[in-house]
Chains A and B, each alone.
Chain A
Amino acid sequence: MRKQNVPYFLVLPCLVVLTVVMLYPLFTSIWLSFTDPKLGDPAHYNFAWLANYASMYEDPHFWPIIANTVTFTVLSIGISFLLALGAALLLNCDLRGRSILRALAFLPWAVPPVIAAMVFTAFYDSDFGLFNYVLKSVGAISEYQAWLADPDAVLYVIMSVVMWKYTPFLLIGLLAGLQAIPREMYEAALVDGASKLQRFRYVTLPQIRNISLMLVTLGAIWRFNHFDTIWAMTRGGPGYASQLMGTWAYLWLYFSDSPGHAAAIAVASMIILAVPVIVLIGKQMD
């Protein structure tokens, strides 16, 4: 009888911590989204039911922000995945110094997002930036542009930073997947007379299907929820041009007095994300 309780004891500290920092906030957030408290006066919570959600829905920025979030997620994970796949295929061959190259390629992932944000802010700077300098030298633009102040371009600028930082993760994962493919499969295909393209299509792709789906799902989730880089570079601006749902919720928390409204946005973004995620995970169960 004693022995059966052992695992519970071991897991207990972990559970305690997780309950405090995860379960409690999760349920509190959901509860908060239905109330209308003032941050400085927690004793008075008025139940506002769906008022927060309604005002969020009616906010003129609602749809643009959702569009931003979806664009950001889909484009950045799509491009990242293609880049990572290409690089992984290249790195899969036996090269000298491969581990050094791999380490260097993985480096952006270790850099704190805020530092990367800073470097790229300088890179895209309107007076000093390397980006402007290169473009002007090549003749692509006539004058230096203020990329981060341009409402049309800013989302893509930030996307480039996020892609720089997180593509390596996909790369390493895909590389691991590629290396797990047994050689015999390629040899068998060769014996059957398959060309390089056919080998890629019928051996490589199916073998990495599972890990690709997992990486893309995880990556998409993380990008949808991304906060640090955007906040550090533009705070969601100019105006609301680079605002995602996560930063919008934070904006409400920080600059207004209603955490209830902020919580509503956060919960809404969680629900919006849940739908495609469940679909994608369902696909992986096959």
Chain B
Amino acid sequence: MILIYVSFAAFPIYWMVMVSLKSTRAVLTETPVLIVLDPSIDSYVYVINDTKFVVQFLNTLLLATTTTAITLVVASLAAYALSRFQFRAKRPIMIMLLASNMLPVVLFVIPLLILMRTLHLFNTYYGLILTYTTFTLPFAAWMLKGYFDAIPREIEEAALTDGCTNLECIRKIVLPVAAPGLVATSVYSFLLAWQDYIWNLTLTSLDTMRTLNVGINSFLFFREYQWPAIMAYGVLSTVPVILVFLYLQKFLVSGLFAGGVKG
């Protein structure tokens, strides 16, 4: 019973891989098959050599990792403050973090497009990374706060009485214990950044600045019947994220619901 559900979940990805392995000749037959009888990697060679794939892959990788790094640093500082201190701005900040998730993307896209154009950040990595933090930062801060909340204060207090400063205390005591949370947040950030479509679509016009998602969409629209190639493009674009995800999803699951499961 469960297997039915899981196979529904996994099937489209399986199918994508299968089609990508079809030789160009086999596509012209009308009947789809579940297992490819004479696989060929022609499509993969084609995608890597004759399309903009490599540039887009590197762009996506660069953007995802940089955004994750920045988000992690900024969010953990903020999360630590939100978790360990009481201050007047705390409530509005937390509401802001939560609410930003609930607003339509377009609402942010319109003014930021104008802003980026004015600041000459159109078609630049800086502009993109800055806007990527729109969606990674709030949730990251929220998640990390949940994690920090779960770490008992006694550990820090013990360290403080033993004589280390506030910053040392964070570095040596809290961070190691919060490591799973940091990993979870990085995975989440990375996933979100890799999945972006609208920001890259809106804020870039040069082929050299585009990411995988935008690239594959234009590839789809212009080469409608080259399915093996399109699927190969898709497989190559998804493999990194799937690997990251499968390897680290344990952390992610506990992280997402750290504070949310109440009876």
* 8 Å CB contact of A111 from B1, B13, B100: B13
Residue in B100, B105, B166 whose beta carbon sits within 8 Å of that of A18 in the complex: B100
Interface check B206, CB cutoff 8 A? no
Could you tell me the distance in whole angstroms from the C-beta of A116 to the nearest C-beta in chain B? 7
A100-152 at interface with B (beta carbon < 8 Å): 101-108, 110-123, 127-130, 133
A228 to B192, CA, bound (A): 12
What is the chain B residue whose CB lies nearest that of A235? B221
Residues 33-52 of B, flagged 1 when their CB comes within 8 A of A and 0 if not, give 00000000000000000000
Q: Mark A14-42, 1 if CB is under 8 A from B, else 0.
A: 11011011111110110010000001001
CB distance from B261 to the nearest CB of A (A): 5
Partner of A164, one of B6, B12, B32, B166: B12
Give chain A nearest CB distance to B23 CB in angstroms. 15
Interface hits, A197-249 → B, CB 8 Å: 207, 210-211, 214, 218, 221, 224-225, 227-228, 231-232, 245-246, 249
Q: Are A112 and B32 in contact (CB under 8 A)?
A: no
For residue B172, give the distance in angstroms from its CB to the closest CB of chain A: 17
Using C-beta atoms within 8 Å of the partner chain, give the interface range for chain B: 35 or more
Q: Are B85 and A6 in contact (CB under 8 A)?
A: yes
Chain A residue at minimal CB-CB distance from B2 = A90
Is A190 at the interface (CB under 8 A from chain B)? no
> A112 to B197, Cβ gap below 8 A?
yes
Residues of chain B within 8 A (CB-CB) of A22 are 96, 100, 108, 134, 138
Q: Check B220 against A121 for contact (C-beta < 8 Å).
A: yes
| B58 → A minimal CB distance (Å) | 16
> Across the interface, do A14 and B213 meet the contact criterion of CB distance under 8 Å?
no
For the residues of A in contact with B, the DSSP-based class is: helix
- Asked if B150 is an interface residue, CB under 8 A from chain A, the answer is no
- Determine whether A282 belongs to the interface, using a CB cutoff of 8 Å to chain B: no
Knowing A21-B131, A112-B194, A112-B197, the reply to whether A266 touches B217 (Cβ < 8 A) is: no
Question: Residue of A at shortest CB range from B118?
Answer: A42
User: How far, in whole Å, are A108 and B134 apart by their CA atoms in the complex?
Assistant: 23
Q: Check if A189 is an interface residue, CB within 8 A of chain B.
A: no
Residues of A in contact (CB 8 Å), total 92
A174 to chain B, nearest CB (A): 10
Query: B176 → chain A, closest Cβ, in Å?
Result: 19
**A14-B77, A107-B9 known; A112+B238 contact, CB < 8 A:** yes
A103 to chain B, nearest CB (A): 6
Please name all residues of chain B whose beta carbon is closer than 8 Å to the beta carbon of A119 when the two chains form the complex: 12-13, 15-16, 231, 234
Residue B115 lies at the interface, judged by CB distance under 8 Å to chain A: yes
A14 near B118 (CB under 8 angstroms)? no
Closest chain B CB from A277 CB (angstroms): 7
Q: Return chain A residues, CB-CB under 8 Å to B234.
A: 115, 118-119
Q: A176 is contacted by which of B113, B118, B194, B257 (Cβ under 8 Å)?
A: B257
Query: When each residue 66-85 of chain B gets 1 if its CB lies under 8 Å from chain A and 0 otherwise, what string results?
Result: 00000001110110111011
B100 to chain A, nearest CB (A): 5
Query: Is B245 an interface residue, CB under 8 A from the partner?
Result: yes
Please indicate the chain A residues that have their CB under 8 angstroms from the CB of B214 in the complex: 114
Which B109-165 residues sit within 8 Å CB-CB of chain A?
109-115, 118, 130-131, 133-134, 137-138, 141
Q: Which residues of A contact B112 (CB under 8 A)?
A: 21, 25
Question: Do A110 and B241 form a contact, CB below 8 Å, given A22-B96, A262-B110?
Answer: yes
Tell me, in angstroms, the Cα distance from A87 to B216 when the chains sit together: 32
A-facing residues in B217-249 (Cβ within 8 Å)? 217, 220, 225, 227, 230-231, 234, 237-238, 241-242, 244-246, 249
Query: Which A residues are in CB contact (< 8 Å) with B212?
Result: 112
- Cβ contacts under 8 Å, B80 to chain A: 10
Chain B residues proximal to chain A, CB less than 8 Å? 1-3, 5-6, 8-10, 12-13, 15-16, 19, 27, 30-32, 73-75, 77-78, 80-82, 84-85, 87, 89-90, 93, 96-97, 100-115, 118, 130-131, 133-134, 137-138, 141, 166, 191, 194-195, 197-198, 202, 212-214, 216-217, 220, 225, 227, 230-231, 234, 237-238, 241-242, 244-246, 249-250, 253, 256-257, 260-263
14 A-B contacts (beta carbon < 8 Å)? A11-B93, A13-B73, A21-B134, A22-B108, A23-B96, A28-B110, A101-B2, A105-B9, A106-B9, A107-B9, A111-B241, A112-B195, A129-B32, A259-B113
The 3 closest A-B pairs by CB, nearest first: A14-B78, A10-B81, A28-B111
A7-B82, A227-B106 given. 6 additional CB < 8 A pairs? A7-B85, A22-B100, A118-B234, A164-B9, A180-B263, A267-B107
